């Protein structure tokens, strides 16, 4: 860890009482949902973390509680360091405050997380589906969502499946 990153991590841990994990070269801070906007604003204003490299979510069902983790990758372009933030979110009515005012590019990332996982973001100006069709029900990347495959048509079952396939005539 570089000196700059070390100092950033120390300050953040003291100020917000976070937990730190390191794996190989990646430093992760566990943040609670109430603090995330403050943490991002501090990183952006004070410590020059001017780029939100990516924002995704992970579903750990059924192995871990809380079920979802929203993952933010922060990048500081002047200092060339990466910092990862994780926000554990429970499975019932998952909500996280939106960081759109701090990093405007989080707009589409948060829409994708809503579409794929069902995690709502408070304060997001335009919460609707971005990858699936607009009236789709369900959140595909959750672990309890079915794969949605259809039976493969080989020569031995060709005719049975052919009867069931929804061809369109005109």
In angstroms, give the least distance from the CB of 100 to other proteins. 24
Instruction: Kindly list the residues in this chain that would bind other proteins in the complex (CB under 8 A).
Output: 131-133, 136, 140, 145-150, 152-153, 165-170
Which among 43, 91, 41, 40 has a CA at the least distance from the CA of 65?
A: 91
Complex with other proteins: residue 23 or 158, whichever CB lies closer: 158
Given a contact cutoff of 8 angstroms between Cβ atoms, the answer to whether 141 and 117 are in contact is: yes
Backbone angles phi, psi at 120, to 5 degrees: -85, 145
Shortest separation between residue 162's beta carbon and other proteins, angstroms: 11
Nearer to other proteins, 125 or 148 (CB): 148
Judged by CB, which is closer to other proteins: 14, or 159? Answer: 159
In the complex, the smallest distance separating the C-beta of residue 167 from other proteins, rounded to whole angstroms, is: 6
Phi then psi for 75, rounded to 5 degrees?
A: -130, 130
**46/162 with CB nearer other proteins:** 162
Shortest distance (Å) from residue 151 CB to other proteins = 9
What stretches of the chain adopt beta strand conformation (E)? 19-23, 26-30, 51-59, 68-76, 81-89, 95-97, 120-122
Contact 89, 69 (CB under 8 A): yes
């Amino acid at each position: 860890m570089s000196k700059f990153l070390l100092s950033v991590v120390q300050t953040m841990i003291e100020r917000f009482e976070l937990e730190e994990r390191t794996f190989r070269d990646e430093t992760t801070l566990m943040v609670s949902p109430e603090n995330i906007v403050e943490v991002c604003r501090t990183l952006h204003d004070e410590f020059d973390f001017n780029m939100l490299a990516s924002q995704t979510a992970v579903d750990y069902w059924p192995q871990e509680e809380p079920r979802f983790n929203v993952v933010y990758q922060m990048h500081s372009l002047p200092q060339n360091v990466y910092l990862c933030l994780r926000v554990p979110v429970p499975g019932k009515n998952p909500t996280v405050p939106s960081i759109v005012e701090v990093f405007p590019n989080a707009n589409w990332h948060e829409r994708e997380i809503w579409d794929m996982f069902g995690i709502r973001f408070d304060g997001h100006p335009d919460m609707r589906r971005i990858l699936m069709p607009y009236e789709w029900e369900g959140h595909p990347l959750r672990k309890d969502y079915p794969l949605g495959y259809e039976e493969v048509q080989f020569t031995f079952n060709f005719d049975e499946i052919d009867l069931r396939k929804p061809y369109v005539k005109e």
